[in-house]
Amino acid sequence: MFRTIFCALACASVLHAQQPPQAATPLPPLPPPRPGFSFPQNQTLTYMVDWRVFSAGTAVIHFEAVGDREKLTANADTIGAINLLFRASDQFQSTFDRAKGCTYEFDKQTVEGRRKINSTLKLDYAQSKSILDEKNLVTGKAKHVELPVPGCMTDLLTGVFYASSQPLEIGHSFVLPVVDAMHNVPVTMKVEGRELIKTTLGTFKTIRVQPTADAGVVKNRGNIWIWYTDDDRHLPVQMRARLFWGTITFRMVGNDNK
């Protein structure tokens, strides 16, 4: 369930395994961060996750500077009664260029029910290709895939937070070229309006953004919204996916510099 938000409209990896690789399609360039924007440094964001009316899990996202790159780490785990229905523990790591936004590596460790998958996606811009190495820890089956990429791309996790680097002007849209294991997907971020959002940390003035895409698991299956703070930081204080099997909401409950 956590991948639904983090993937931000690209294809869920469970469906990728059932579909053949797709060649790269023409994509717009990744827009660079706006002048003066800085990604968080040594900052940890904590979210409580609700599924319908139940407390479903927690998600912790950590930003860390590594030279001229940014490392983004996310851990998501189910909690409480949800574990009796479906236990999940997912980890994501992304490394991207702080100045240009280009992702260099995106790793996933997925434990969902009986499914256990480890994957590493590396982007070699010199050779214009992405390189996926994936292993099913249950069956032992391994997969190696190489596909072309047209240029600088963001990834499934970083895309949610990279949008913070853009102006977010009401009524305007921008496109993020998103790379996943077997797809290159243009994701349109539609800036819809302003809204007050209440969390345990207080009430925030926010800008509501709806990502949309013409490909992926979310197409024709539901909607996603992200509420960013209406300030220079554009922190995502709330994220929501409304799908045919229910609604998942992430609400920020912690914002620590550590």
Q: For residue range 117-164, what is the model confidence (pLDDT) as tens digits? A: 999 999 999 999 999 999 999 999 999 999 999 899 999 889 999 999
Residue 240 has pLDDT above 70, yes or no: yes
Q: For residue range 83-118, what is the model confidence (pLDDT) as tens digits? A: 656 677 889 999 999 999 999 999 999 887 788 999
The domain limits of the chain are 2-10+101-257
Q: How far apart are the first and last CA of the chain?
A: 27
pTM: 0.86
Counting residues of the chain whose pLDDT is more than 70, the rounded percentage is 83
Residue 184 has pLDDT above 70, yes or no: yes
Q: What pLDDT does residue 16 have? A: 32
For 171-191, the DSSP string reads T-EEEEEEE-SS-EEEEEEEE
The β-bridge relationship of strands 54-66 and 69-78 is antiparallel
Section 164-190 average pLDDT: 91
Rounded alpha-carbon distances, angstroms, from residue 17 to 20, 23, 94, 136, 181: 8, 16, 21, 11, 10
The residue behind tokens 């099913």 is 136
Residue 165 has pLDDT above 50, yes or no: yes
Q: Report the chain's mean pLDDT, rounded to a whole number.
A: 84
Q: What pLDDT does residue 221 have? A: 53
Rounded alpha-carbon distances, angstroms, from residue 75 to 23, 111, 151, 165, 218: 31, 11, 28, 22, 22
User: What is the three-class DSSP state of 101?
Assistant: coil
Give the C-alpha separation, 102 to 151, whole Å: 9
Nearest to 101 by CA among 61, 178, 161, 153: 153
State the Rg of the chain over Cα.
Answer: 17
Give the C-alpha separation, 34 to 102, whole Å: 14
Q: Any residues with CB less than 8 A from the CB of 83 and at least 6 apart, and which?
A: none
List 184's β-bridge partners, or say none: 179
Between vectors from CA 217 to CA 213 and to CA 221, what angle results, nearest 5°?
Answer: 85
